[in-house]
Amino acid sequence: MPHPLQGEHADSGAVSYPRAARWEPATVLTELARATGIRLVDEGWCQGGQIGACYVRWPDGHRSVLTAGPPGGPAARRAADLAAVARAAGVPAPRYELVADLPSVTAVVQELLPGTVPVTVTRRTVASMVEVMGRCRGLLADRTELPAPSLFLRADGPGFCGEVTGVVDWDGAARSNGALDLMTVRFDLARRAPGLGDWVGRLLREAVPETVRLACWAHMSLRLVDWAIREQTADDVSAWLRVATEVRTEL
């Protein structure tokens, strides 16, 4: 039986870089059944993502989303705790229905939220994202035990509708400056919807001090260029360098 986290490799010139590992649902579901007695049915991959998530159906008929990460460690249970905090504040975060430490992975089964992947990005979509980001502000202000998020500058890290209907992937949640959320959206929209990117750029200039904007810009520039070198094409590397230069001029 293959290990569920089987990485692929991307050739980038003379150097081969490992791609993010994509796990095998059949293996994870078999281990889950042996460990818990719960038998879930695989109903196919969810759209998008690098590591992957799949739809599963419970014996009672309801559907959920299964993800898997490295075995051991408290990250999944911490994510479940943070998602519960967010839900209590009105953020549309999923319930964590099951977290199981298995021999090869940590399996997480989350509530399936309503909604679909947007085909095009509209002003309404981006405004909804900004509004949900606002609900997250201050939620972890008193959680001083939580570590600050890594910017992954010296070490490797994980791969990174009309309105927002849910916020998932809480394993990456951390206590930090919310301006980084807006800068992430600003970079993404620079290639996806430049006009909306300009609007988010204005929001940044109006709400965020220049020193913070520059720090967030530097992080996103390095992060996306590094990601493109390891996971995408030479054209993508050039495109993200152009975006970094364009965004810098507006800060």
CATH of residue 42: 3.30.200.20
Looking at the chain, how many residues does it have? 251
Residues 89 and 167 in one domain: no
| Inside any domain, residue 4 | no
User: What pLDDT is stored for residue 168 in this prediction?
Assistant: 76
CA-CA-CA-CA torsion sign (197, 199, 200, 204): positive
Residues 95 and 163 in one domain: no
| Inside any domain, residue 134 | yes
Residues 74 and 158 in one domain: no
164 phi, psi to nearest 5 deg:
-70, 125
| Inside any domain, residue 133 | yes
| Secondary structure (3-state) at 244 | helix
Give the Cα separation of 165 and 131 in Å (integer): 12
Q: Element (H or E) spanning 205, and its range?
A: helix 194-207
Residues 58 and 127 in one domain: no
Give CB contacts under 8 A, 24+ apart, made by 83-91.
Answer: 83/170, 83/173, 85/139, 85/140, 86/135, 86/136, 86/139, 86/167, 86/170, 86/173, 89/135, 89/136, 89/139, 90/135, 91/132, 91/135, 91/136, 91/139, 91/167
CB-based contact 125:189 (threshold 8 Å):
no
Residues 82 and 145 in one domain: no
Give the Cα separation of 178 and 161 in Å (integer): 23
Q: Element (H or E) spanning 177, and its range?
A: none
> pLDDT tens track of the chain, all 251 residues?
444 444 444 444 444 545 555 689 999 999 999 999 999 999 999 886 656 899 999 999 999 999 998 887 688 888 899 999 999 999 999 999 999 999 989 999 999 999 887 778 888 988 998 998 888 888 888 888 887 777 666 665 554 457 777 877 777 677 778 899 899 999 999 998 888 999 999 999 999 999 999 999 999 999 999 989 988 899 999 999 999 999 999 88
| Inside any domain, residue 172 | yes
For residue 18, how many other CB atoms are within 10 A of its CB?
Answer: 12
Residues 66 and 86 in one domain: yes
End-of-domain residue from the set 68, 86, 111:
111
Residues 103 and 147 in one domain: no
Residues 158 and 243 in one domain: yes
Range of the domain at 174: 123-250
Tell me the CA distances in angstroms from 76 to 10, 106, 110, one per residue in order: 28, 8, 11
Q: Is the pTM of this model over 0.95?
A: no
Residues 42 and 93 in one domain: yes
Residues 170 and 242 in one domain: yes
End-of-domain residue from the set 111, 141, 157:
111
Q: Is 52 left (phi over 0), alpha (psi -120 to 50) or beta?
A: left
**What's the domain count of the chain?**
2
Specify the amino acid at residue 209: P
Give the Cα separation of 90 and 197 in Å (integer): 26
